[in-house]
Each structure stands twice: as structure tokens, then as C-alpha cells.
Structure 1
Amino acid sequence: MRVAVADDHPMFRAGLRGLIEDSAGLEFAGEASDGAAAVELCRSIAPDVLLMDLRMPGLTGVDATRRIVAEMPGVAVLVLTMVEDDTSLLATLRAGARGYLLKGAAPDEIATAVKAAASGQVLFGAGIADRLTGLLAATRQEPHPFPELSARERDVLDLLAQGRANPDIARRLGLSEKTVRNNVSAILAKLRVADRPSAIVRAREAGLGARPGAQFDGFPGSWGSE
């Protein structure tokens, strides 16, 4: 079973390489230091499994996962990251990842998840599965007030309603800032509003953007570009 690694930290890549080479039935196939390189690596060697970080320079892990799954469905993408917020979890799964582990996972847990992904299973790390169940249950019980928006656009709108700027939204969703700007433009068009503050008003009126302990006292002083 051939396994590749995509992570921007050389020491972490080296550690994963050692883990793979020491695990029975696994073979190290190659490595990449960013999302674009991960896509090219999969195109050239077609590994059985790619261990993918989310936050990398250039093309993010989420966008790289989406491209790999679309172009090379035989490559199982398994996310291994330090990012553990709910928005990133859902964005990653929507992109087609076969599992989600945190970097604190034990070596045997990672090896087990790799083998599960290669066999077509979906596996989540400790605590992730329970959170995902709760998120999916909430999604089923509470239809979104803006059905005209795509899943990604709804995530962006929710973060907009929290008063977050484009760089923060990009970081939280594992997207590029250009992708976030494109999504904001699409949101404005679909909601038929003239500007970003107007979209935020509509989102908050619909109940989006609430965070525990958060208070909205008007709009932040700088919204950034669309």
C-alpha cells in the first residue's frame, strides 16, 4: 500500500515517513510541501493514500483535496492536521476526504486510519466522530435560511456574520484569500445585496454568526476587500 505525505513542515514529513516505513504493509511513495505540489505528486505517482495537512502555503489542503478527489478518485485523501474547528472539519469532508485525524494521534492510530482509507472506509480520530455526528444532526434539524447558497458559501457567510475578515475566513476554511473573495462576490449576487455590510445584516437577522459570549456592537472598522 503506497502512501504519500503533504505537509509544509520538513520535520513532520520526516516523522511520517519513518512511521510509514516502519508499518507493516505500508510503503512510502513520496512527499510534497504544499497543496499544489501534492496535486502534482498524485498525478505523477497515484499513491493509494495521501496524508494531507490543511494549512499550507499557496493552495490549501481543502482545495488540494477537492482537486485530487475530482481528478484521481482512486487516491484516498486522509487529513492529518492541527486544525480542529467544526468549520474546517465540514469543509474537508465536503471536499471528499476519507478521514480526519489530529496531529497528536498515536502512530498506530495513523497507520490504522491509512489502511482503512485505502480499503474505502472513512475514519475519524478520537473525539472527531462525536463532533461530526452532532454537526450533521444540527444540519438536519435546522434548514439553512439561504438555500440558494452553496455549502461553501454558507460557511463563508456564517463567518462574515461573525465579523471576520477575508484572511481569517481563508485560514479557518482552509481556502485561499482569492477563493474567499470569489465566494463573497457570489454571496452578494445571490442575496441581491449591494455590499458586504448588507449581507452581514441579512445573515445576522437569519441567526447566523452567533458565537458563545460574542456581542455585535456595530460593524468592525475595516472589512477588507471582497
Structure 2
Amino acid sequence: MIRVLIADDHHVVRRGLLFFLKTQKDIEVVGEAKNGLEAIQLVETLKPDIVLMDLVMPEMDGIQATKRIKERWPHIFVLMLTSFSDRDHVIPAIEAGASGYQLKDIEPDELVESIRTIMRGENMLHPDATSTLEEGLREEEMKPHIQNPLTPREQDVLAELTKGKSNREIASSLFVTEKTVKTHISNIFTKLSVQDRTQAALYAVKHGLTEGSGK
């Protein structure tokens, strides 16, 4: 039997899921949660095999709940069941550890098949969610620092620059001349498509480039 926990703040949705899943011989609904916090509490006591998780809920949303569940019980699967297919919801959900992402307009039979597929250890994404992920990956590949990677020394200079250091201070920290620092900064501006030190620092923070190369 596949033990399922339903987490959704809408009573009608929970009732509908419960009614249909009860017709499946290999599925048992072991509990219902009205929010993410309650979902975590029920996971701890009921130990389901998989959680059908809504995204937007009071107390704690589905993404935070998924993250905590996967941190404490990595063997428990989470299938997001939501109305949102935009990148602001899809990508964080997958990053939180969800094994599947389906929209609420899914046919009941397809939902059951998604549950079974995930229990076999395979991921299951709605086509719209897949498209969103692919678009996100394409945009990631198009980012300046991906297309024009910084050299280890340029990474070091950028890391020092984000600390608000002057060229002289950067030169002193890296044991190079100020002229060399200026050259590196010029290259950094070109590669990252930024106009000044502030833009470079903001870019570094946004894209996780605040650490040096370590070389």
C-alpha cells in the first residue's frame, strides 16, 4: 500500500482527493493537513510514503514544508499539486526537494499514475512545469558570467571589490600592483556587462560570486 498524506488548505480539494484516492486498491490516505506546519507534524507521526503538497497555504507554505520534510525524512516523497506553473513557484519547489509537480487540473487517473511513478523513484513533472524549468536553465546559460567565465584572479578581485575595497586595498590583499587590479576590473566590467563597481558588486551578490577562487 502507498501511504498518502494530503496537505491543502481548501477543504473541498482535500475531500475530492480523499474520495478519489479511496477508490485505488494500492493507495491509503493516512491523513490530511490544512497547512505546511500541520503537514510536518503529521509526517512525523504518520510517516507517509508520499505527501500531496499544495503550494500556497497559511502558517507555512508548501515549499518551506517540503524543504523541512526532505531535510528530516529524505526517504519521504513530495508531489506538489498546485495551480501555479510559473518559475517563481516551480523552481523553488524542485530545489526544496519535490519529486513531482502537477497542476490541479490534472485528470484523476493521471494523478494516481504520477504517485505510482514517483514511488518507483522517478520524477514526474507537468509539461508546463517542465517548460518552466527548461526556460530557467536556458536563461541561466545565457547569464554573462556563464557565457564569459571569470579567471580565478578576476574572481578574487571581484570578491574583494564586493567588500567595498579600493584598488589600492585590493592590490595589497592580493599582492599585485594597482595597475593589475585596474586591468582585472576592466575585464570584469566587460565580462559581466556592468558599468561600474556598484553594479559589479550587486551582480556578484545576486549570482553568488562573492567568494574568491581560493587559488
Tell me the TM-score normalized by structure 2.
Answer: 0.66
Counterpart in 1 of 2:194?
none
Counterpart in 2 of 1:118?
119
Alignment-mate amino acid for residue 76 of structure 2: V
Deviations 1:110-139 (A, max 9, x none): 111111112211101132222222222322
Counterpart in 1 of 2:193?
none
- Segments of structure 1 that go 5 or more residues without pairing to the other structure are 146-190, 194-200, 210-226
- Segments of structure 2 that go 5 or more residues without pairing to the other structure are 147-161, 165-197, 207-215
1:63 paired to 2:25:
no
Question: What percent identity do the matched residue pairs reach?
Answer: 33
Counterpart in 2 of 1:129?
130
Counterpart in 2 of 1:20?
21
Counterpart in 2 of 1:197?
none
CA distance in 2, matches of 1:143, 1:97: 29
Q: 1:85 to 1:2 in 2, by over 3 A?
A: same
Deviation at 1:78, TM superposition (A): 0.4
Please give the residue correspondences for 1:10-89 in structure 2 after superposition, counting only pairs within 5 Å.
10-89=11-90
Deviation at 1:27, TM superposition (A): 1.0
CA distance in 2, matches of 1:22, 1:126: 26
Larger Rg: 2
Provide runs of 4+ in structure 1 moved above 6 Å: none
CA distance in 2, matches of 1:141, 1:48: 39
CA distance in 2, matches of 1:126, 1:13: 24
CA distance in 2, matches of 1:6, 1:109: 19
Higher relative contact order, chain-length normalized (CA < 8 Å, sep 6+): 1
Aligned residues: 157
Counterpart in 1 of 2:211?
none
3-state DSSP of counterpart to 1:22: coil
RMSD: 2.7
Tell me the TM-score normalized by structure 1.
Answer: 0.63
